[in-house]
């Protein structure tokens, strides 16, 4: 059995991995919640990575509340940077390949063509900054790593934009949603699936990869699609970001160029609308 360690086991990506992992009979997955395995505890990281003959570690643990990151720099830095460094170090010491997940928020959004892996990073806030430091920690510490940058994750699990829209629609006849931030919604189950493909291929094509669903949307477009597919009558009003002020500034454009992952792993990626329909079957 190939042993796989998954951190952040209660998060939406880890739960998607859990639901797909049942089809992977030759692999034994160990999912750790934050209570069982806190990645900011260096000794615990060393002990857990040594405890079994893991071949892969999938790091789904992160401080993901982008606005809270602006209110408290220390906690996100511990999880998204220092904890990742501890994991990368322990992975290297124990010969474990690390699959680490990062974000479109490492970019400033000033580009108007899809971002490639080689494009210049320039995070706008604490979340993106700490996630970028985490990427650098991985790259500077171990050789056997896959960093998957992804964007606008949603699923039937956890808290996300899709769930928020469905909840608000129960009480609100109309909602303002920003139209001047453009990216690609990504079903976390599709990301989980590509992670499992990478592990199955095990081709040592280490490096950074961009992964999202296909297509382009604003949050406004995404909300409209959710309500139309669910036959919800809540009216969606297009608003500008300045009309919905938040502690964190978000990139206005964060569409990914995904050619590298398609070429290296020979995969086709579903369009965001197709995946939204699939997810809504499970919500």
- List, in sequence order, the alpha helices (H) in the chain: 12-21, 42-51, 66-71, 74-77, 83-93, 126-141, 161-169, 188-201, 219-229, 259-265, 272-280
Q: Single out the segment in contact with ligand NAP by CB under 6 A; choices: 23-31, 33-41, 199-207, 233-241.
A: 33-41
Residue in 86, 115, 127, 154 annotated catalytic: 127
Strands 27-31 and 54-59: unpaired
Q: Is 255 in the site for ligand NAP (CB under 6 A)?
A: no
- For the question of residue 27 being annotated catalytic, the response is no
Candidates 81, 151, 181, 275; binder of ligand NAP (CB under 6 A) is: 151
Q: Is 18 in the site for ligand NAP (CB under 6 A)?
A: no
Per-residue binding string, ligand NAP, 44-63, x by CB under 6 A, is ----------------xxxx
Distance between CA 256 and CA 109 in Å, rounded?
11
Q: What are phi and psi of 193, to 5 degrees?
A: -65, -40
The CA-atom distances, in angstroms, between 210 and each of 9, 18, 149, 207, 240 are: 23, 22, 5, 10, 27
Candidates 40, 126, 217, 226; binder of ligand NAP (CB under 6 A) is: 40
Q: Bridge partners of 99?
A: 58, 146
Q: Is 223 in the site for ligand NAP (CB under 6 A)?
A: no
Q: Single out the segment in contact with ligand NAP by CB under 6 A; choices: 22-30, 110-118, 147-155, 242-250.
A: 147-155
- Least distance in Å: CB of 81 to ligand NAP? 11
Candidates 5, 45, 54, 83; binder of ligand NAP (CB under 6 A) is: 83
Distance between CA 146 and CA 191 in Å, rounded?
13
Q: Single out the segment in contact with ligand NAP by CB under 6 A; choices: 7-15, 117-125, 213-221, 265-273.
A: 7-15
CA 14, 20, 23, 24 dihedral sign is: negative
Candidates 39, 45, 236, 261; binder of ligand NAP (CB under 6 A) is: 39
Distance between CA 198 and CA 193 in Å, rounded?
9
DSSP three-state, residue 103: strand
Q: Is 165 in the site for ligand NAP (CB under 6 A)?
A: no
Q: What are phi and psi of 33, to 5 degrees?
A: -80, 170
Residues 99-128 that bind ligand NAP (CB under 6 A): 101, 103
Interface residues with ligand NAP (CB under 6 A) are: 7-8, 10-13, 34, 38-40, 60-64, 79, 83, 101, 103, 131, 150-153, 158
* Residues involved in catalysis: 127
């Amino acid at each position: 059995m190939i042993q796989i360690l998954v951190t952040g086991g209660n998060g939406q990506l880890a739960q998607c991995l859990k639901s797909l992992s049942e089809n992977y009979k030759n692999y034994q997955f160990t999912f750790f919640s934050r209570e069982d395995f806190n990645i900011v505890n260096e000794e615990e990281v060393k002990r857990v990575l040594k405890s079994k003959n893991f071949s892969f570690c999938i790091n789904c643990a992160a401080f993901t509340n982008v606005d809270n990151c602006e209110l408290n720099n220390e906690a996100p830095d511990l999880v998204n940077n220092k904890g990742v460094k501890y994991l990368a170090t322990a992975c290297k010491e124990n010969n474990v390949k690390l699959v680490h997940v990062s974000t479109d928020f490492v970019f400033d959004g000033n580009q108007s063509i899809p971002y490639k892996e080689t494009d210049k990073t320039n995070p706008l806030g604490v979340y993106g900054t700490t996630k970028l430091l985490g990427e650098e920690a991985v790259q500077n510490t171990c050789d056997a790593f896959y960093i998957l940058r992804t964007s606008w994750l949603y699923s039937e699990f956890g808290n996300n934009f899709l769930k928020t829209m469905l909840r608000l629609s129960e009480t609100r006849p109309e909602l303002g949603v920003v139209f001047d931030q453009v990216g690609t919604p990504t079903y976390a189950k599709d990301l989980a699936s590509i992670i499992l493909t990478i592990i199955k291929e095990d081709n040592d094509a280490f490096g950074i990869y961009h992964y999202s669903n296909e297509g382009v949307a604003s949050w406004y477009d995404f909300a409209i699609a959710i309500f139309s597919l669910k036959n919800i009558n809540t009216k969606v009003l297009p608003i500008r970001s300045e009309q919905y002020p938040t502690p964190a500034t978000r990139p206005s454009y964060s569409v990914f160029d995904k050619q590298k992952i398609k070429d290296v792993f020979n995969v086709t990626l579903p369009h965001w609308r197709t995946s939204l329909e699939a997810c809504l079957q499970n919500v």
